[in-house]
Amino acid sequence: MKNNLKKWMATRTGKVVLSLLILLIIARIALPYVMLHYANKKLAAMDGYYGKIEDIDVALYRGAYTVDSIYINKINEATGKQDPFFSSHGIDLSLEWKSLFKGKIAGELVFDRPFIKFTQDKVELDDVARDTSDFRDLLKDFMPIQVNRCEISEGHVMYADYSTDPVVELEANHINALAQNLKNTYKKSEVLPATLQADANVYGGVVQLNMKMNPLAENTTFDMDFKVIDAQLPRLNTFFQAYANADIKKGLFSMYMEAAAKEGKFVGYVKPFIRDLDVLDWKGQDKEDNFLRKVWEGVVGLGGKIFENQKDDDVATKIPLSGSFGDGIKPNVISALVTVVQNAFFNSLKPAIDNEINLRKVDEKEKDKKKGFFKRIFDRT
């Protein structure tokens, strides 16, 4: 057997096969280094950004590679300094086998502990859109095929405003999200074939998002519900001190939202709840507050007590939303005020999703209510 193998290796065919095998082994060994050099070169060339990748691992048997420890900083145009913008302990980019079995070539992305940060001077919609577009273009360089599935594990998002006193930093952590069928490689008969499910922790509370959507539709098309449950308001005191000049001593915030959109129009509602609110406290650090600050805190606290539902000990309202993406959101302020009074003195709102918004609601014309303000308050139907 050995002699036959040696004779075959000595033939021209054997030498060609051996040479190709050696070249493949060398290419496999060199591939991660070549990809790492290319990726870091692309990151360094990004306009307004600077980034680096520590390592890249290749898994040819599953058509994948893993980016290890990536970071992207945004360069401050005024100072030239770098501000953290995005980082991730790892990004796994691979072929999606489920799509392959359906005769489609699509990929999937898995982010391990990603972090993204927005600062006060970078949260204009145009800036966010540009940053998002730049980030998508970068992903296209790394993943040249269409992404059909995206997963985020233990993510972290931060918003910072360093122009205020005190400095405001808002964040959500332990973000876990899964988006599937983004390119509709299966379930072609469904109106909303793609799904997004996400949850996160925010200041002792929980955030949950459920969305069905059609990313391939010409106009934005989705049906979603969103919850914030029992976020602790005192942990947001830097925000209230900076923007509302008030200290929150006690209180829990919850919010329930539904929205649907198609053909450029959307409808929905936002239902915020504040429970056990306590703003004014004449003890402790409040002794250092000036008189006007105490008056403002007193007004906020008194308003909360007046419109607090005595049975459920909460302040709540329901704000209907409607409009088109070209014209912006149109909240119904009168309905919101009516609901505040109703919740305080008559019918308490239910802290839950009402399951009343869907794509059909977008087509329904809003019915004009000819009832007066006080009649609407006392109407329990």
- The whole-angstrom separation of Cα 72 and Cα 172 is 19
Angle (CA) 276 316 250, round 5°: 20
- The whole-angstrom separation of Cα 356 and Cα 366 is 14
Question: Between the CA of residue 147 and those of 58, 104, 180, 290, 335, what are the distances in Å?
Answer: 18, 11, 9, 56, 42
Question: Between the CA of residue 373 and those of 63, 322, 345, 347, 349, what are the distances in Å?
Answer: 64, 21, 15, 16, 19
- The whole-angstrom separation of Cα 197 and Cα 255 is 17
Show Cβ contacts of residue 137 under 8 Å, excluding neighbours closer than 6 positions: none
- Contact between 87 and 98 under an 8 Å Cβ cutoff? The reply is no
Q: Which residue type is seen at 201?
A: N
- Per-residue pLDDT 10s for the chain (381 aa) are 666 666 666 676 766 766 777 776 776 677 778 778 888 888 888 778 888 999 988 887 777 888 899 999 988 776 778 888 899 999 998 887 776 666 677 789 999 999 999 887 644 445 555 555 555 666 666 666 788 899 999 999 999 888 888 898 999 999 999 999 888 766 667 889 999 999 999 999 999 999 999 988 888 899 999 999 999 989 988 888 888 777 888 888 898 999 999 888 888 888 888 888 777 544 444 555 554 555 445 545 544 544 455 455 566 677 888 888 766 555 555 554 545 444 444 455 677 888 888 888 887 744 444 444 444 444 544
- The whole-angstrom separation of Cα 10 and Cα 8 is 5
- The whole-angstrom separation of Cα 260 and Cα 200 is 22
Is-cis flag, bond preceding 114, omega within 30? no
Residue 28: which H helix or E strand, with range? helix 12-44
- Contact between 223 and 244 under an 8 Å Cβ cutoff? The reply is no
Q: Which residues of 302-341 are buried (b: 16+ CB within 10 A; e: fewer)?
A: eebeebbbeeeebbbbbbbbbbeeeeeeeebeebbbbbbb
User: What are the domain boundaries of the chain?
Assistant: 32-189, 200-381
